[in-house]
Chain A
Amino acid sequence: MIAIIDYGIGNLKSVHNAVRYIAPKIPSEVSSDPDFIKKADKVIFPGQGAMPDCIKELDKRGLRDIVIESAKKKPFLGICLGLQLLFEKSEEGNVDGFGIFEGKIKKFQPQKQERIKIPHMGWNKVQQSKNHPLWKNISSGSSFYFVHSFYAADVKKEYVTGTTDHGGEFTCAIAKDNIFAAQFHPEKSSELGLQLLDNFISWKV
């Protein structure tokens, strides 16, 4: 059973569509019910929009504890803001995240040498910093779809699993024990994105 955590932010339908497409036989639900999330074998934690709003909505639904608890135990996939929320602090609204990873979420800044657009939107290459079960059948340098204005900075090297270049290299995938989190959107990254989700579904921690 797979739980996709719903806290009223963003479009979770596409994540659910992709999961159902890959694994039609595995029950999956978009849910804000802590009991259901607790029972699920695997948890997907998506997110879109602004981090302060996300935290507010999570707390409004009393979901903070269950997210943190899930991230401790079961296969856990953070997507986009679901990656950013795992860090200690964010520049966006100057809020605290869950502190599961050391590091800070920072905003992309205009560059002198190379003009970059903010948000970072579109397909960009992901260099794999290390092997991971979720990279199975995906080669380093493959393109994934991104849309974000903030990124994880000062990430401990041991957790950096993928990097991307947008006016400089930044960490776009992290992993630790049962957690994998991506700044890009696998559910919008066509065949290779589906491959990553498929790898998550068959991931045995």
Chain B
Amino acid sequence: MSVAKRIIPCLDVNDGRVVKGINFIELKDAGDPVEIARSYNEQGADELTFLDITASSDDRGLLFDIIEKVANQIFIPLTVGGGVRNCDDIRNLLNSGADKVGINTSAILNPNFVSESSSRFGSQAIVVAIDAKKVDDHYEVFTHGGRNATGIDAIKWAKKMADFGAGELLITSMDRDGTKTGFDNKLMRSISNTVDIPIIASGGVGTLKHLVDGVKEGLADAVLAASIFHYGEYSILEAKKYMHQHGIEMRL
């Protein structure tokens, strides 16, 4: 017996509404974050992740509203990522009811932001998101949805972020994202074997078997998925049962 592997659905938020993840079930109000969060909670989601894709930073207030509404009614861990630039952003998100924040580009621009924020808010609140892509025979960190190379080795970066106080790492393979061909388990395994903190695998899930592979081959502690849940292909409970049948400890 040990800690269960987690399934985390990821929801995209724009201007205060959920814009991806709205087709999976008959909802009265398809974009209502509370209704969606409640539905995922009832299906057995272990955590929820909101990714803010709002283009204009003026509309940030709407995101806080969403987090607040969800946190008032749904009592599982909430992670919020997207556009987190400084400690004030983190403070505001936590005050709205988020439990963890995802930091990506800002960590690359200033790695000390990770150590500073984890010592201020606790490492349990800091998730460092790493977008990696295969370049020749190694993995490199990319930004801007995989368009901009940073020249940073992804495995070394993961180690550095763990040393700087990240509580967990969200690893997305930009090669696999959106392809439905499964996680890049070599990437996941290399990082999981390098750090002691939990890692969340992301990018490429198309079938339930991919989730099992992410844990067994990628050694992920949690799996993040969007489209397979959003479009009703599988419910979270189905996914958990399938993983459990394949010998993985799950919360059922």
Contact = CB atoms under 8 A, between A and B. Distances in A.
A106 interface: no
A78 B119 CA distance: 22
Q: Which of A21, A145, A189, A193 has the most CB of B within 10 A?
A: A145
Interface stretch (A36-44, A63-71, A117-125): A117-125
Nearest to A194: B75
Given A188-B77, A190-B41, A14 B2 contact: no
Interface in A1-34: 9-11, 13-14, 17-18, 20-21
B72 A17 contact: yes
Given A11-B99, A17-B71, A122-B221, A116 B41 contact: no
A110 interface: yes
Nearest to B120: A49
Could you say which interface size class chain A belongs to?
A: 35 or more
Contacts of A189: 75-76
A130 to B, nearest CB: 19
B141 interface: no
Q: Which of B77, B98, B221 has the most CB of A within 10 A?
A: B77
Contacts of B97: 11, 13-14, 17
Given A124-B2, A143-B251, A117 B72 contact: no
B155 interface: no
Q: Which of B121, B122, B196 has the most CB of A within 10 A?
A: B122
Given A13-B95, A17-B71, A143-B251, A119 B77 contact: no
A119 B118 CA distance: 13
Contacts of B194: none
A114 B76 CA distance: 27
Q: Classify the secondary structure of B's interface with A.
A: loop
Contacts of B75: 14, 17-18, 21, 187-191, 193-194
B76 A119 contact: no
A165 interface: yes
B46 interface: yes
Contact of A188 (B76, B196, B251): B76
A21 B96 CA distance: 16
A110 B4 contact: no
A188 B99 contact: yes
A79 B73 CA distance: 20
A117 B196 contact: yes
B82 interface: no
Interface string B111-145: 00000000101111100000000000000000000
B63 interface: no
B215 to A, nearest CB: 12
B65 to A, nearest CB: 14
Interface of B: 1-6, 41, 46, 71-73, 75-77, 94-99, 119, 121-125, 167-168, 196-198, 221-222, 251
22 contacts: A10-B121, A11-B97, A11-B125, A17-B75, A48-B122, A48-B124, A48-B125, A114-B2, A116-B2, A117-B3, A118-B196, A118-B197, A121-B167, A122-B3, A123-B251, A124-B2, A146-B3, A189-B75, A189-B76, A190-B75, A191-B75, A193-B75
Given A13-B97, A147-B167, A166-B2, 15 more contacts: A10-B121, A11-B95, A11-B97, A14-B99, A18-B75, A117-B197, A119-B168, A121-B221, A125-B1, A147-B124, A165-B1, A165-B2, A190-B41, A190-B75, A191-B75
Question: What are the 4 closest A-B residue pairs judged by CB atoms, nearest first?
Answer: A49-B122, A123-B251, A143-B251, A147-B124
